[in-house]
Amino acid sequence: MTRREEIRTTMIRRTRLIPLVFALALAACTSSSDQTQEDHTAQFHVENAQRLYDGNHYRRALQQFDKALALDAENQPALLGRAWCLLFLAEQRARNGDRQADDTLAEAELAFNGLSELDFGANQFKIELGLGKVHVIYGDLFAARASMLENRSKDRTASESQDLAWHTTIKERDTEYNKARGYFKAVLARKDNRDARNNLTALIHLARIAVIQRDYAEALVHAERYLGQVEKSKNLWVQSSVRFPRDKGIWEAKLAGAVTKEIEVRDLIADILYKLGRLELAEKELTQLIFLSPERTDSYLNRGIVRDELGQKREALGDYKSFMLRAARLDMDAGDPRVLKSTERIIELEKELGIPSSILKGEANR
């Protein structure tokens, strides 16, 4: 039995105990004279949980959802909220390299699988979306392990067993990503909910998975569709700011969030276009990206590389120098591959263009 199967078995056993736990908790709540009647309602705890969830306090939100379920075991917002809390906790732990990530992720997967048997109406897509994210995180964990195995093989001659382990891990990674793709496509195919058909989470994950699997044409379709939805949101928040000036602060915050999403997806689109060999379009995306986020250091390097390949040597030189200036401000290590590449190309381009070396004078590193 694999570790993942062991975790699932344990979680199933725990699930069978839930009715008893809820009954005991309900009895305890009923016998308490220190709480108000309002504290005894499931809705009270759901509302508390939602506020904590919106503030990214997932552990505390989870506790509130559990209290709600102790009072009403069939409360759908609490059931769904609990599953999403587990998912985000697993995502945080995976990002931080926490060993508990696998356990929490398995618990989240079990929770969403249990919900898939219920009827959530127009919100059914949120279960599919959650399961898609579960498998993305599993895929990311396998991808990280594959990268680690690959790095180890570079340090010494890879043995046959190490090579086999790498191939097995890559296969497991793709299996998880393919499961995620199935769920995300199911979300986008839904006709009962407009939010599902245009869901940004599903679109961006589909784009990123396609990039990892080197299906750049599909990746571009999803990324551009995502960008289209973000641009609609930006227009909506701008119009709302004009129509409802009293809530201008709210609309500006939403607009800022949409711009952040636009920056991230344009970076992805530029990378996809570069890999497709569509250099002119990649250069335009990077120029727009720099306009939106001039402090984004790597954008100058990436545009320099694209312009270099387009034969725009003087413009490429300017981008490499802009990257080096920002790298110096960030105290980027001199041995960083990006710094080494920029330094090399600045020297070569200045020589080709007959420009005195700025590297020797230290100008590019000021």
Q: How many domains are there within the chain?
A: 2
Specify if 156 maps to a domain.
Answer: no
Boundary (domain end) residue, out of 65, 100, 118: 118
pLDDT tens-digit map of 71-102: 999 999 999 999 999 999 999 999 998 888 89
Dist CA 138 CA 157 (whole Å): 28
pLDDT for 25 equals 40
pLDDT for 97 equals 87
Specify if 314 maps to a domain.
Answer: yes
* pLDDT over threshold 60, residue 21: no
Share of the chain above pLDDT 90, in %: 75
pLDDT tens-digit map of 328-356: 999 999 899 999 999 999 999 999 999 88
CA distances from 82 to 42, 88, 96, 198, 202 (A): 13, 10, 21, 24, 20
pTM: 0.82
Specify if 324 maps to a domain.
Answer: yes
Dist CA 58 CA 131 (whole Å): 18
CB contact at 8 A, 112 and 182 = no
**Which residue segment(s) compose the domain that 99 sits in?**
1-118
User: Quick one: average pLDDT of 8-36?
Assistant: 43
* pLDDT over threshold 60, residue 16: no
Specify if 24 maps to a domain.
Answer: yes
* pLDDT over threshold 50, residue 18: no
Specify if 17 maps to a domain.
Answer: yes
Q: Would you state the torsion angle of the CA atoms of residues 350, 352, 353, 357, taken in this order, to the nearest 10 degrees?
A: 20
Boundary (domain end) residue, out of 118, 136, 164: 118
Specify if 150 maps to a domain.
Answer: no
- Domain containing 79 — which CATH number? 1.25.40
Specify if 34 maps to a domain.
Answer: yes
Specify if 211 maps to a domain.
Answer: no
pLDDT tens-digit map of 118-165: 999 989 999 999 999 999 999 999 998 898 887 776 655 556 777 888
Boundary (domain end) residue, out of 84, 118, 152: 118
**Arithmetic mean of pLDDT over the chain:** 87
Q: What is the largest CA-CA distance in the chain?
A: 87
Q: 26-35, 255-264, 282-291: lowest mean pLDDT where?
A: 26-35
Q: How many CA atoms lie within 13 A of 6 on its CB side?
A: 5
